[in-house]
A and B are shown apart, each in its own frame.
Chain A
Amino acid sequence: MARQIIELDVREMLKTKQDPFERIMATVQQLEANDVLELHATFRPEPLLKVLGKQGFRHAVVEEATDHVIVQFYKSREDLPIFHLDNRGLEPPQPMVRTLEFLDQETQCQNGTMGVEIWNERVPALLLPELTERAFEFQVTDEEEGTVRVKIFRNQ
């Protein structure tokens, strides 16, 4: 698996007034070129976005609840923030269902200010017509290593 999402949840540290910065940076050091760091925090970590932005990381932010913000950091040349969903290993039709649910519920995807990149084990053939029907565009890249990447976005 050439790319993965590394999950780091610092909500407990933040609630107990600990500083998670060192732990976050230690995790960032472990990232391979195609990896994504998925950080779970209790607020939008503006200073961290700037620090990692200077290191070449782009970010996509999703507010899961008022005290639960998910930030993904990744390397990319594109300006549009991209949220990543790793659907590999999920039992069909979960990869397609999970993607559609995310797209249907996330307003940033609806208004075109954020895209989604899904990592599947195969081309989600049944999903593609649904994306077209919902006016999303997509780009499919088969990495030939058991990973098919589908970038989904809506033109603003």
Chain B
Amino acid sequence: MQTLARTPAGGITTSQSPPFSLPIRYMLLGMVGFLVFAVDLVIQSSGLNGHNTFLPSIVALTHLLTLGSLLAFVMGAVYQLSTVAFLVPIKTVTVAKWNFWLYAISIVGLIISMMVWWVMGLMIFGTLAVIAIYLYSLIIIWSVMATNLRGAMQWFVLSAHVYLIVAVSLALLLIISFMVPGFLANVYQPLLLSHIIFAAGGFFTFLAMGFSFKLLPMFTLSHGFSTSRQKWTLILLHIALWAFIAGIWLNDRSALWVAGIIGIAAFINHLFDVRGIMKKRLRKNTEAPIYAVLIAAYSGGFAFLLLFVQLGVALQIAGWQEIVTFYLMGWITLTVMGFAYKIIPFLIWNERFRKKIGKEKTPMIADLLHPNRAKPVLIGFLAGLILLTVCSLMEWIPGTVIGTLMIGASIAVFAIQLLLVVNLKKVGKER
């Protein structure tokens, strides 16, 4: 038993949190984005299959999820969590706050331009969105670089943001390829795939894994677990990502096979880490949102397995749309949903009730949104995703429609639950 109550005289201070209004504005945008995405998903459910990925409405729908929901929410979460995970302040809160408006306006303009396929709009709002994402990434990189804490988590987060910069730069090249015929138009397919890989496999994957090393122990009260595997997951993920890029640009199937195998290895390694964290937890009850995060990690590995099988069966990358959808939903969206169920009530409780505790009767975090209420939502989402994936592979349209409707309904309920916790009437008055 280590009871030594050591005095941290002159020691580090962990109170570096940014003002509440910074993370919450991005997270609110993300929640509204999730709600709009859910409605759009339900509306478009009858037309969704792997064959019409390039329809403007589907492109818009995809970016409503990735940029309007996931990235917006994640940006707010990263502004909040970086200060806790790395014990550093955000370098420039003012720029981060103003950048929100640039991001929000550009994303709305960009998604509308996608829906109506207005190429000039794509160029204008795409450029603005890229500037906003560059600014965000640079603020985080600058802030995280200042930490004295060393470890794999720092490199996961830094890698994620470097890959985000690459992903959005490639997106800009894609837009240019629509306007200027020539070399870029000729390499449209590898450009598009690289954009997806750097965004989904690069940014979101590195970030989700990196922050899991902090968030899972935080929410399960775990410590004393091994961290020695983390660096190997990091290395394996980098190798997998670049093997993908090489395979796509060199049209080399063997590189894609290597990427698939190493990607599976990275997720298996990550799952061992997750298991280690869970084994050492002090919290007696594991809540539904945490189970969702665990299942999401398995889904990520399973998506790589699907890709591997796909490469073996089809001997090409065709069919990637279904796998990307599964990866985006099963791994990234489910991870964000699981952590969001824990982060939002925590953030709101901290802002509204922390100062009142001890002075008056205050609710507990679970009173704001009990984790049990997440259970049916997450089960519905997972069931819908499984149905969608299986029916897509079997090309059974009614099944894909039902699966899509289930996903849409679950995400809508998820967004409404969180918005009710935030309470829009109160949040506007908070600092």
Tell me which residues across on chain B come within 8 A of A92, comparing CB atoms. 14, 84, 214, 218
Contacts A38-B5, A62-B3: A91 and B221 contacting too (C-beta < 8 A)? no
Q: B383 interface residue, CB < 8 Å from A?
A: no
Task: Assess A125 versus B354: contact at CB under 8 Å? Given A89-B12, A97-B282, A100-B221.
Answer: yes
Range, interface on chain B: 35 or more
> Is the beta-carbon distance between B3 and A93 smaller than 8 angstroms?
no
User: Are B366 and A129 closer than 8 Å at their CB atoms?
Assistant: yes
Interface of A is mostly: mixed
Judge whether A126 and B12 touch: CB under 8 Å. Answer: no
Instruction: From known contacts A7-B4, A133-B284, A142-B355, infer whether A93 and B218 are also in contact, taking CB-CB under 8 Å.
Output: yes
* B285 cross-chain contacts in A, Cβ below 8 A: 133
Stretch in contact with the other chain, from A12-20, A23-31, A46-54, A78-86: A78-86
Q: Which residues of B contact A146 (CB under 8 A)?
A: 13, 15
In the complex, chain B residues whose CB is within 8 Å of the CB of A130: 221, 282-283
Q: Mark out the residues of chain A between 97 and 156 whose CB falls within 8 Å of any chain B CB in the assembled complex.
A: 97-98, 100-102, 104-106, 121-123, 125-130, 132-133, 139-142, 146
CA distance A86 to B351 in the complex (A): 24
Contacts of A88 in B (CB 8 A): 8, 11, 13
Q: Are B14 and A121 touching (Cβ within 8 A)?
A: yes
- How many Cβ-Cβ contacts under 8 Å join chain A to chain B? 113
| CB neighbours of B214 from chain A (8 A) | 92
Whether B364 and A4, one on each chain, are in contact in the complex, defined by CB atoms closer than 8 angstroms, is: no
Q: Are B218 and A123 in contact (CB under 8 A)?
A: no
Which chain B residues border A10 with CB–CB below 8 Å? none
Whether A123 contacts B354 in the complex (CB less than 8 A), given A86-B5, A97-B282, comes out as yes
- Is B218 in contact with A125, judged by CB distance below 8 angstroms? no
Q: Is B94 an interface residue (CB 8 A)?
A: no
Q: How far does the alpha carbon of A72 sit from the alpha carbon of B5 in the complex, in Å? A: 10
Q: Does A96 contact B (CB under 8 A)?
A: yes
Per-residue CB contact flags for chain B residues 60-73 toward chain A (1 = under 8 Å, else 0) read 00000000000000
B13 near A89 (CB under 8 angstroms)? yes
Contact B1 A106 (CB under 8 A): yes
B219 touches A128 (CB 8 A): no
Say yes or no for B178: interface residue by CB 8 A criterion.
Answer: no
Q: With A130-B283, A133-B284 known to touch, is A89 a contact of B355 (CB < 8 Å)?
A: no
A93 CB to closest chain B CB (Å) equals 5
* B149 at interface by CB-CB < 8 Å: yes
**Which residue of A is nearest B217, CB measured?**
A93
Within 8 Å CB of A105, what residues of B?
A: 1
The 3 closest A-B pairs by CB, nearest first: A89-B8, A89-B11, A140-B358
